[in-house]
Structure 1
């Protein structure tokens, strides 16, 4: 499943939110979308599943313009895990995950044995098989997020769209969730605010700043100290993670001088 955005612009009423954005996600690729608060990340994500219609440009899923696809067909191709996306009613875990089968069922059609198998595999994948009958309100934030990921898995869509999936999660729950997503091997577009998580779990990154994509490519190339200073307003130093060997970013306010300049050791 390939996702392609070309020259996409978004307006909310008369207000321009995003302008002239190009973005691609290839089959099996994990792509991150990062940027400061208010830069347009969620709005851009919402155009993919047509919660917002783009003011200009085109969006294609597997080569088909989303404007030519029904919501059911879009849902068969792309599954969303949105921020704070909890059902209004206190469903059981199994009931929530079963909602992912909706795009494949006819109106008023009940789930079948095959649907039950798919739901069971999704629960097993997120390690919540024993939670089937638990109410969503009884779960921790990390467990609820895993339920929503399981619902997306039950949807059997080849593309996952994740909008800040680690928001409000503690360190352990956030890392566990991103490890799970990485192990799925599906094409993924993930909005993240934590640059170190983005650098660790994404193959490529796009940086959105003031409604425009200003950089795209491998994390170590994109998250240069110069770009981080310009876009995020902080000083950034590239380090090597002592365990993984990957990129680790150390931040400080722009006005703080390096330790060496302060007379280290005095």
Structure 2
């Protein structure tokens, strides 16, 4: 098991944020974490890389409690793409991606030789090979996000932690990115707002509501209309995707009036 959270509870100051959460990600498994704004998704993610300490419970990476691991050891096991996690200084794209090699190089070693191949591969995979010398500040929001994903890929850790990786991406780029993540075959925990993307690209989903896991399982089982209404406050209808045949969710506001069907007496 690449990742295991057991009865994890988190507080910010005196405010309870997450309570008694259990979550696992197995080898090669793509797991999604979904829930409304403020439900505790990012806080739960932050406990995994020790930006927050749980007040109860434990987090294990590849079987070891993270409290026994150094930050370098954690980074060798899990690579993170966090929200708004761009470097403070205006590095080039290649320099940003090279930061992903940090956990693997010594104090006096540079990102040359054996470290060049993962950097080049990561840039190629996210479509930024031609932007390696561009400054991060000159990129669009979507390109900046892809640069941060490339940094995580260059880290070559067996577990990917993605906190809303499709933010700032157009539809084409978002789909390309999630296709890439699927093709990598790495264990992945991904926070997503878009339930249709989560249903398409995740093997299992955890639904977080008011700081608690309220459902866990395959998307077609977890995202049932009753749960979606209770957690997200919208009416949900299950459809079959016309191309893939997979689950497609159609949403409407609660109590929205249905569109009348056209009949013989209708104006056309």
TM-score relative to the length of structure 2: 0.95
Q: 1:153 Cα deviation (Å)? A: 1.0
The C-alpha deviation readout for 1:36-87, integer Å capped at 9, x for no partner, is 0000000000000000001100111000000100000000000000112111
> What residue is the counterpart of 2:88 in the other structure?
88
Once the two structures are overlaid, the 10-residue window that deviates more, 199-208 or 115-124, is 115-124
> What residue is the counterpart of 1:45 in the other structure?
45
> What residue is the counterpart of 2:195 in the other structure?
195
Once the two structures are overlaid, the 10-residue window that deviates more, 62-71 or 143-152, is 143-152
Q: 1:108 Cα deviation (Å)? A: 4.1
Q: Distance in 1 between matches of 2:199 and 2:231?
A: 16
Q: 1:264 Cα deviation (Å)? A: 5.9
> What residue is the counterpart of 1:210 in the other structure?
210
Which SS does the other structure have where 2:244 is aligned? coil
Q: 1:171 Cα deviation (Å)? A: 1.5
Q: Distance in 1 between matches of 2:117 and 2:177?
A: 23
> What residue is the counterpart of 1:144 in the other structure?
144
TM-score relative to the length of structure 1: 0.96
Q: 1:111 Cα deviation (Å)? A: 2.1
Q: Which runs of 5+ in 1 are unaligned?
A: none
Q: Distance in 1 between matches of 2:134 and 2:184?
A: 24
> What residue is the counterpart of 1:20 in the other structure?
20
Q: 1:30 Cα deviation (Å)? A: 0.5
Q: 1:244 Cα deviation (Å)? A: 1.1
> What residue is the counterpart of 1:230 in the other structure?
230
Q: Distance in 1 between matches of 2:244 and 2:184?
A: 20
**Over the residues paired in the alignment, what is the CA RMSD in angstroms?**
1.3
Q: Distance in 2 between matches of 1:119 and 1:171?
A: 26
Q: Distance in 2 between matches of 1:194 and 1:230?
A: 17
Q: Distance in 1 between matches of 2:17 and 2:141?
A: 30
Which SS does the other structure have where 1:178 is aligned? helix
- The residue correspondences of 1:78-227 to structure 2 (distance < 5 A) are 78-227=78-227
Once the two structures are overlaid, the 10-residue window that deviates more, 59-68 or 83-92, is 83-92
Once the two structures are overlaid, the 10-residue window that deviates more, 191-200 or 164-173, is 164-173
Aligned residues: 264
Q: 1:162 Cα deviation (Å)? A: 0.4
Q: Distance in 2 between matches of 1:111 and 1:85?
A: 21
The C-alpha deviation readout for 1:175-197, integer Å capped at 9, x for no partner, is 12111111111110000011011
Q: Distance in 1 between matches of 2:243 and 2:79?
A: 33
Q: Distance in 2 between matches of 1:221 and 1:264?
A: 33
Q: Distance in 2 between matches of 1:29 and 1:108?
A: 36
Which SS does the other structure have where 2:122 is aligned? helix
Which SS does the other structure have where 1:256 is aligned? coil
Q: Distance in 2 between matches of 1:188 and 1:69?
A: 20
Q: Which runs of 5+ in 2 are unaligned?
A: none
